[in-house]
Structure 1
């Protein structure tokens, strides 16, 4: 495994530069109030992995995942570089790099970055420990966990990260103006929108995870037994995904207040939770115990962040709670409809690619329609907000 690991590290190194430059471009574009391409960047990155893995798996094996990371990071960077260049041309400017080591903002950036760098080191330790423990729990455990992680990261990037980043400029503005009421309202609206969109994604991945996994990954050496393992891992990861979805806006809410130390300290605590749960469950549950540990980490981080933010800025309005309960009820209704449709539909469909596509198209459409109908009946106003936003983007 060591030569393969070294080769994969060498191949992935350029992605580090692409990631770094994409982060810089994200900050610039958000400062210019250009949200579309940065909001899509995480989804484009994950899409690179999802596309490259099945297409290249037969030729490169597990290295296809690394190629996917490289292609995804490149696409992410190229997309935002194009958007910035387009804006500069529109206003009659050209892109120019200039180094000013004495700029007053530089020291502030360094101070704010120190806690983030610290938690990145701690997170790297946790990821390394996770991989080491997983490698001892089965030959293909790491691959199963990575595939399941890729599936749940796509909605996280497309929904939670995108909404959190879009809310960041307004949160920063409200904090600078000392308008805590507007700050709470913006954060509450962001959390409600995240819950509105992540709930059907979680339901869909849980009930349709098998055909989705089969469609994307079951090619070449990836067998039906691998699909079963990825789906079982995905079901556990989805617990943590729900907490991670609300955790992103909470993190950025702290960043908007120029507070990077709080999230970093909570991150250290959550890694401690992971270590305790991982060693407690590894012997009895194998690599599933590591996934439960990861979900426990996500849950502890999100809950502590929510408590700290409530203590710092006050409670969010009651609408956040009522909308959250309504969204939960609609998601349960969607799950019931998906289960019934799948129960009657699956025996009628051929066990091949066409069958999986029809299953996803029909079941997914019914589920989304039922979810939207229930949201409307329950009076969840965020549904109209999302519809208006989508219509405005399409015009």
Structure 2
């Protein structure tokens, strides 16, 4: 069985590697839409395939899910290369290669730390019950979707500009604006998912072998994971700010510290809380990583300056709470009325979205207007082409 699983997973390594190359090309071309979905697609492939095939293939279904997820991640991005003229050439003497390797070595260390963290997480999860890993992975998909669409996408979008800017003020302004956009989108997404965790999980996953009990457990895990989501989202622009200054060492040293924090909290809580102890540990890891990176940003990159981040955060948080209250009221009313699963999940989302957009207007959040203008410009540009 182990040999068969190894044979299945080896092609996935190739597809994941090629997906990374395509992602890099798309970001170099400033085409950010396709890469934003890759992580969510990868996790979705794993979860859906595992749920569908577990009754027949058992643990091997997870490996098949990894293979399918890696294929989805690669082939979904290929349309983004349309119109690009490229050819392959190997030049080991190219002067940029040495610099790339120097910058990559710390990243390799950070990736190693992340992989070790994932392996530890899965090993510990397997000790908390047969279904724990499936619940955690399903919850992770729902966390990774807004994280990829918001944190990752905005971070990659501001990276080229950060890399070009030479003055401290320009650098601070761009980084702060990126973080503001992240907060503008991730805080309402977090509170919305927190309030509507159960109906959303039921809508997406409750079919076949996935029961109402599985929905409840997944929703509980999701709600705790969400504690770390805003931290993880603002953490990504901070990491990319260091990359823009050609400092790949600091973020990846913090990654090792994050794994240590996770392991410490997980081992302390797993006995008492089981699977939820691991989820708490993950949220603690993400939160600590972001706070440490924020401290390093202030001490090594001159901070963020006076860019109005506190005022923006307060307005967005208040608007998100109002939105969350509306979502909760609507969801509770629909639940008492016995609404079907689609109505129970989608109606509160629609109502909450309208309230949030209205609150942005009432509170005069300038960044929200700027974001709408950028989207409108992009839409008009696509219409012209």
TM-score (structure 2 length as normaliser): 0.92
For residues 255-296 of structure 1, give each alpha carbon's deviation from its aligned partner in whole angstroms, at most 9, with x where no partner exists: 111111000111111111111111111111111111111111
CA-to-aligned-CA distance 1:37-84 (integer Å, 9 cap, x gap) = 333433443454465456556655665554444333323322433322
Q: Distance in 1 between matches of 2:78 and 2:131?
A: 37
Query: What's the RMSD between the two structures over aligned residues?
Result: 2.1
SS at 2:308 equivalent: helix
Match of 2:163 among 162, 172, 176: 172
Q: Distance in 2 between matches of 1:6 and 1:212?
A: 37
Give 5+ residue unaligned stretches, structure 1: none
1:245 corresponds in structure 2 to 233
Aligned residue number for residue 232 of structure 1: 220
How far did 1:125 drift?
2.0
In structure 2, how many angstroms separate the alpha carbons of the residues matched to 1:34 and 1:137? 42
Aligned mates of 2:201, 2:337 — CA distance in 1: 20
Are 2:40 and 2:141, in contact at CA under 8 Å, matched by a contact in 1? no
Asked whether the equivalents of residues 53 and 68 of structure 1 are also in contact (C-alpha less than 8 Å), the reply is yes
Of 151-160 and 34-43, the range deviating more from structure 2 = 34-43
How has the CA–CA distance of structure 1 residues 39 and 218 changed in structure 2, closer, same or farther, with 3 Å as cutoff?
A: closer
1:87 aligns with 2:83: yes
Secondary structure at 2:303's aligned position in 1? Answer: coil
Q: Is the contact made by 1:171 and 1:187 (CA closer than 8 Å) also made in structure 2?
A: yes
**Contact 2:154/2:237 (<8 A) preserved:** yes
Pick from 14, 17, 25 the counterpart of residue 22 of structure 2.
25
**How does 1:279-294 map onto structure 2 within 5 Å?**
279-294=267-282
Structure 2 equivalent of residue 338 of structure 1: 327
- Matched-pair contact (CA < 8 Å) for 1:210–1:231: yes
Deviation of 1:329 (Å): 0.7
Superposed counterparts of 1:351-390, under 5 Å = 355-390=340-375
Against the structure 1 CA distance between its residues 74 and 385, is the aligned structure 2 distance closer, same or farther, given a 3 Å change threshold? Answer: farther
Write the mapping of 1:1-395 to structure 2, written as runs, cut at 5 A.
3=1, 7-49=4-46, 52=49, 60=57, 63-84=60-81, 86-88=82-84, 93=85, 95-174=86-165, 178-316=166-304, 317-350=306-339, 355-395=340-380
- CA distance in 2: counterparts of 1:239 and 1:65, whole angstroms: 27
Deviations along 1:19-53, one digit per CA (max 9) or x if unpaired, are 21222222222223333333343344345446545
How far residue 196 of structure 1 moved from its aligned partner, in angstroms, is 1.0
The answer on whether the counterparts of 1:39 and 1:163 sit within 8 Å (CA) in structure 2 is no
Q: In 1, are the aligned partners of 2:51 and 2:209 still within 8 Å (CA)? A: no
* 1:215/1:55 CA distance change after superposition, 3 Å: farther
Question: Cα–Cα, structure 1 residues 18 and 262, in superposed 2: closer, same or farther, change >3 Å?
Answer: same
Counterparts of 2:369 and 2:51 in 1: how far apart (Å)? 37
CA-CA distance at 1:144 after TM superposition: 1.2
Q: 1:203-253 CA deviation, whole Å, 9 max, x = no partner? A: 221111112211222222221111111111111100111211111111111
Number of residue equivalences:
379
Counterparts of 1:384 and 1:75 in 2: how far apart (Å)? 34
CA deviation digits over 1:299-352, x for unaligned, max 9?
1110000110111232322411111111111111111111111121212134xx
